[in-house]
Amino acid sequence: MASWTSSQFLYEETKPCGIQFLERFKRSGRLSFKQYQALVFTLTFVAYIAFHAARKPNSIVKGTLSASTVRGGWSPFDGPDGTALLGQIDLAFLSVYAVGMFVAGHLGDRLDLRTFLTIGMIGTGLFTALFGVAFWANFHSFYYFLAVQVLAGWFQSIGWPCVVAVLGNWFDKKRRGMIMGVWSAHTSLGNITGSLLASGLLRFGWGWSFLGPALLITFLGLVVYFFLPVNPPTVGAERDGTEVDSTMRLGDTITESFLGSRMSTGFDRKAIGFMAAWKIPGVAPFAFCLFFTKLVSYTFLYWLPFYVSHNMIGGEYLSEETSGNLSTLFDVGGVVGGVLAGYISDQLDGRAITAAGFIYLAIPALFLYRIYGHISLTINIILMFTSGVFVNGPFALITTAVSADLGTHKSLKGNARALATVTAIIDGTGSVGAAIGPVLTGYISAISWDAVFYMLMTAALISGLLLTKLIVTEVKAMVYGSTDEGEAATSSSPATRAPIDVLL
């Protein structure tokens, strides 16, 4: 067997038994390519909804755990350093998540993605549930909570490289921005699902807030194992010849393996190395951009319910349950932002321009939310929704369409075994920022929430500036296309390819 650093698969991918069962009910004995695409889209979508739903209980129960002993609370988080301890747990989770992302991405290009994803989902369910078990077992050791979150972070890190790699295997670059913009709604819908589920169960005891999402992701993990097709060759799927020319540029996307003589061998069996993936044009700028973008997004993910419940809105304080439900509007805005960012980037043929535009607009949105969000509930809702659009829009775009574009970059010469690695590099780097933001907020919020928002606006500004070189390249590509209509009309012209393809 090859070592974990080898470029060879450790396991062969096989057709899921659930697919074999479904084919029995088809007159032709097989599913169509579009049916496979619909199945992949749906399964990866609900799988990552479950991953994000499993992360949300921590933010929902923060107010309950850190409350004073008069209001309840839970030792050791009910003391004066309670918020700092909760911040340390968030840091532990996200730090392991970030490191695990790099390892999971490297392994994801070598393992059976379906089995690997299932392990991540069931492991996440187990350790999410164990955090809640402390409620019934009356555990109060800080190190118990810390250990559980560390292991939960490790299994959570498996999810993202796997789902992006699988989706990238089935959808072409031409419509990838819009498709993945819709698909990326799973992040916000997962946060919404987790918030509503955890908030609704909180009245029965905070342990239930963890058990509900844990059972959800465990069940869906089994569904993924039985039904998820990893790539077309694995299930013998072929496109109709009439569809290929109109919708796909296989040389720029995954591979031509399922169209010709290479059908028997499937995808390129050689996976790209970690350092080689970093050298793909555009990977490093987008990775460091996501570092700061995710810092902002995850600060809201982990602290928004707490912020809402501890700051007066319309002259009164809201309960933890109401605050948790209200915070979902930030994620509703994120759904809209992700779809808009994907659509606009497809229309402009410019991922960096779109991402930077949303990031720069997030700065005034955050400023207005902090200054005017307390005036009334209506104003808070409007400004929270707007912030969600501009904060989560570029986050969704970079972690989906951009990652898939770069993971199938033309410099790879048709090698499809880079998707998980590139995805892990970009989102793993972003996850380091995601780890830093919440823990800094835990300390800074004890001094001033104004300082927290200034930190977030500064991070957004840096994030946008990191894309400057790529923006210039994309603008040059657009100008080049507009000055030579004859060449722009041909599919081989650099101006008609996504600007990411001509970066650097």
Residues 231 and 86 in one domain: yes
What is the SS3 assignment for 402? helix
Question: What pLDDT was estimated at residue 367?
Answer: 97
pLDDT digits (tens, 9 = 90+) for 193-219: 998 899 899 989 999 999 999 999 999
Residues 150 and 278 in one domain: no
The helix/strand count (H/E) of the chain reads as: 22, 0
Domain span at 57? 23-237
Residues 193 and 311 in one domain: no
**Would 256 be classed as within a structural domain?**
no
Q: Tokens 């995601």 label which residue? A: 434
**Would 69 be classed as within a structural domain?**
yes
Boundary-marking domain end, from 193, 216, 237: 237
Alpha carbon of residue 239 to chain centroid: 28
Q: Provide the angle, in degrees to the nearest 10, between the axes of the packed helices 283-309 and 57-65.
A: 40
Residues 347 and 413 in one domain: yes
**CA 126 – CA 113 distance, rounded (Å):** 20
Question: What pLDDT was estimated at residue 397?
Answer: 86
Question: What pLDDT was estimated at residue 504?
Answer: 32
The domain total for the chain is 2
Boundary-marking domain end, from 237, 262, 285: 237
CB 429 within 8 A of CB 105: no
Q: Which two tokens stand for residue 21?
A: 């069962």
What is the distance between the terminal CA atoms of the chain, rounded to a whole angstrom?
A: 38
**Would 382 be classed as within a structural domain?**
yes
What are phi and psi for residue 406, nearest 5 degrees? Answer: -70, -30
Residues 211 and 99 in one domain: yes
Residues 293 and 432 in one domain: yes
Boundary-marking domain end, from 213, 237, 261: 237
Residues 125 and 219 in one domain: yes
Residues 203 and 302 in one domain: no
Question: What pLDDT was estimated at residue 84?
Answer: 82
**Would 5 be classed as within a structural domain?**
no
Residues 68 and 172 in one domain: yes
**CA 412 – CA 405 distance, rounded (Å):** 11
Question: Which portions of the chain are predicted below pLDDT 70?
Answer: 1-13, 67-72, 172-178, 240-272, 403-405, 407-420, 481-504
Residues 278 and 352 in one domain: yes
Residues 231 and 316 in one domain: no
Return the CATH number at 367: 1.20.1250.20
